[in-house]
Structure 1
Amino acid sequence: MPPRLRQFLLGYSGTSLATGLQVILLPWIAVAVVGLPALHLGWVQASVLLPNLVFLLFGGALADRRDAAAVAALACVGLALCHAGLLLYFSYRIPNLALLLLYGASLGICTAFLQPARDNLVQRSARDREGQTSESRVQKTVTWMMLAQYGGQAGGMLLASRFDQWGVQLLLGIQVAVLSIAALFLLSLRKKAAPVSAEEEKRPHALILEGLVQTWRRPALRELIALMAFNGFVHIGVFLVVLPLLAAQYGGGRGVSYYATLQLAFIAGTVAATVTMLHRGQGQQPGRGILMCLLYSAALLVAISFGPTPLGLILLCACWGAVAAAAAALGRAIVQLFAPAEYRSRIISIYQLALFGSAALGALAAGVLSEFAAPLTTLLWAGILSLLAFALVAWSGALRRVELGGGESR
């Protein structure tokens, strides 16, 4: 493995490990430590995602305007400071809803600058010794990146499952340390400073507008981003709110352990799917693969809505993770290959804004619906909407016709 790819993957897995811890810790602090109801849990989960609506496009513009490695490293330092602040507060008292919202929003702001800058480093890490790259190398690097992401998240969730034994303070300290190390790995990928270009002298809103125009001109990217907005609202929003509520119902007094088990089952599915794609490749028709993932997601949501046994829910979460990993890898590869180099970070930020910005709204909607109806009813509606989205995107056809190797519809 080339040294630059290894440094990139170590940095990426470090940020993912911290995310895996956060995925368990934040909702469980809200539910089990602070005792918030479902509606307030939706607000806490949304507080991490809502900053994407404001800052993600600026993060993409900044990563195109400055060295993406330096931007990613600074964002890691910001995340470490957020966790250190909550750790310090826990030394004195239990946080309340207002503090958790502030903490979540701070995490969201830093993450909005981290995501496009970090993903921009894929092309830099995919180059061979001669500095050249290819579609197959980019696809393989994206798959390695996804494996680092899911493996890191799995490690974080395993650590979070020790919540009852270790306590929240030790786990927050681990997040601070891991993010500090990840910042060093990402910083090692810096390029030599280049002279200021006319592109860098443009105002941020002009850079963002150019990214939006470039995205709109490519039908496959346009349809992919619309589909990611749907996935964020329906799938991620439901996952963030309904899953911890189901874990509290199924797990009883040890709900945190069962919630961590569900998350680990989801991650196990993502790792299995990513390893399979690493060996077999992503194929020449990634758009059709994304469509099939949408259909499988609809079937899984409907199946969970019927109220499976605790073991059945774990198995269905593993299947859900496999489908989500395949869709994410295919979607990110399409963006990496279709986005022009000078606009790549901005198009990545638009892609992620569609996914995570809509997820914030989806978490709020899932919290409201779950407050007045059973969480399983929320899952049923999500499955029905997914079936309708599958029919609509399949009928449109721009994403379905994407074909790599010279015949792509861009």
Structure 2
Amino acid sequence: MSLASLPGRLHAFLLGYGCTSLATGLQVILLPWIAVAVVELPALHLGWVQASVLLPNLLFLLLGGVLADRRDAATVSALACLGLAACHGALLWYFSLRLPDLLVLLLYGASLGICTAFLQPARDNLVQRSAHRDAAEVSHHRVQATVTWMMLAQYGGQAVGMLLASRFDQWGVRPLLSLQVGVLLAAALLLYSLRFRTAARPFEKVLPLALIREGLEEAWRSPPLRELIVLVAFNGFVHIGVFLVVLPLLAADYGRGASYYATLQLAFVAGTVLATVAMLRRGQGSTPGRGILMCLLYSAALLVGISIGPTPLGLMLLCLCWGAVAAASAALGRAIVQLLAPAEVRSRIISIYQLALFGSAALGALGAGVVSEFAAPLTTLLWAGILSFLAFALATLNGALRRLRVAQRPG
């Protein structure tokens, strides 16, 4: 599927998705670097700040999935973007008064997490609406290709945001926060343009907990989805948690400032872009589950490699490889969810998938912060690699993802 052949609605979706990702790329650099370099928080407090963005997923992500299934997903996405813009605007206003402290950063992170919990399932539910020219067009190949385009918009937007954030030392925090507000307002307009112009679907007096349970039961009935969600929870706890806390600590140990930390993040995102472009050219294949398992194996090897203590350039190269593996795993996993989740509960299963990833990542960030407080960050990476090898062995023996096959018809 070439860019020129994409439906017009998909262009608006990808541009809106890219704007939200650009804001996320800025946030990924700004929040931890404000905590480490401006407020000068220790490793344990950095873990709490990073976790504050992710912990609200434990409370609100499933509700976000219910809301996106029962209301128009485009409208929910646009409102969530407005909420994120308000959060960045509030921190910008606070910086005009004084420097933030730990409590302010925790409130800021939690507010971002709440808005993101409602944005993620609603935004991802727009994939099939934007991809198909008509309701009957449900080619597995087209869905997989559309997910890959979405991942490219995500990683490309994040790369631009991180590149801009690398100017932190020269520009300061206020222009970058202002830019976040602007791109999120643009994203709100683009995503709102995808709304269905029909009456809102009523909740029919069904309690949200019953709707959440319905989504959980549907996911549990599918062995590949069940194993995927468990594996995603492991990746969130071990890989994202470690990445969020250990990487800025390593950058600080190397003593090269915010620009080096941003360069590491950019190397990671460059790897994600390269892997996504390769998947656009080659496709995802008919055995995406096996691909996810191999990505887990490669991640384990990379974590052990970083734990050895590479040179600054070596760490950049390993981060690039880590990004490529993470992108391939994420694209394959999200395509499996899009293909296997029934349409009537798709947002809820997406929210369960995201909860497994980011909810566990919040706990992983806390755990990585605790371990790194009492041991070297490289030791944390070594243990993460060992656990990843064990997870690969268990998932391979279980076999639900390993045996999964999807039809490959031209779309």
TM-score category (smaller protein): over 0.9
Q: TM-score, normalised by structure 1?
A: 0.97
Q: CA deviation at 1:132?
A: 2.0
* 1:255 maps to which of 254, 257, 266: 257
Q: CA deviation at 1:316?
A: 0.2
Q: CA deviation at 1:129?
A: 5.2
State the distance in 1 between where 2:388 and 2:135 align: 44
* 1:105 maps to which of 110, 113, 126: 110
Q: What corresponds to 1:341 in structure 2?
A: 343
Tell me, what secondary structure is at the counterpart of 1:404? coil
Is the CA contact 1:83–1:176 (under 8 Å) kept in the aligned structure 2? Answer: yes
- Which AA in structure 1 matches 2:399? G
Q: CA deviation at 1:133?
A: 2.7
Corresponding pairs, count: 404
Q: CA deviation at 1:131?
A: 5.5
Over residues 222-273 of structure 1, what are the superposed CA-to-partner deviations in whole Å (9 max), with x where a residue is unaligned?
Answer: 00000000000000000000000000011x1x32010000000000000000
State the distance in 2 between where 1:303 and 1:400 align: 26
State the distance in 2 between where 1:163 and 1:401 align: 47
- Which AA in structure 1 matches 2:280? L
Over residues 179-202 of structure 1, what are the superposed CA-to-partner deviations in whole Å (9 max), with x where a residue is unaligned?
Answer: 0000000000001224645x6541
* 1:89 maps to which of 87, 94, 103: 94
State the distance in 2 between where 1:163 and 1:403 align: 46
State the distance in 1 between where 2:137 and 2:186 align: 29
Q: What corresponds to 2:323 in structure 1?
A: 321
* Fraction of identical pairs, as percent: 78
- Which AA in structure 2 matches 1:31? V
1:214 aligns with 2:223: no
Q: What corresponds to 1:31 in structure 2?
A: 36
**Cα distance, 1:11–1:45 mapped onto 2, change above 3 Å:** same
Q: What corresponds to 2:185 in structure 1?
A: 180
1:117 aligns with 2:116: no
Q: CA deviation at 1:176?
A: 0.1
1:228 aligns with 2:247: no
* 1:166 maps to which of 152, 171, 182: 171
1:76 aligns with 2:81: yes
Is the CA contact 2:77–2:123 (under 8 Å) kept in the aligned structure 1? Answer: yes
Q: CA deviation at 1:125?
A: 1.1
Q: What corresponds to 1:134 in structure 2?
A: 139
Q: TM-score, normalised by structure 2?
A: 0.97
- Which AA in structure 2 matches 1:20? G
State the distance in 2 between where 1:123 and 1:301 align: 35
Is the CA contact 2:72–2:200 (under 8 Å) kept in the aligned structure 1? Answer: no
- Which AA in structure 1 matches 2:211? L
**Cα distance, 1:282–1:87 mapped onto 2, change above 3 Å:** same
Q: What residue ranges of structure 2 are gaps of 5+ in the alignment?
A: 1-5
Q: What corresponds to 2:3 in structure 1?
A: none
Is the CA contact 1:249–1:255 (under 8 Å) kept in the aligned structure 2? Answer: no
Tell me, what secondary structure is at the counterpart of 2:125? helix
1:240 aligns with 2:227: no
After the TM superposition, which of the residue ranges 334-343 and 130-139 deviates more from structure 2? Answer: 130-139
Q: What corresponds to 1:290 in structure 2?
A: 292
State the distance in 1 between where 2:324 and 2:133 align: 30
Is the CA contact 2:70–2:201 (under 8 Å) kept in the aligned structure 1? Answer: no
Is the CA contact 1:57–1:208 (under 8 Å) kept in the aligned structure 2? Answer: yes
Q: What corresponds to 1:276 in structure 2?
A: 278
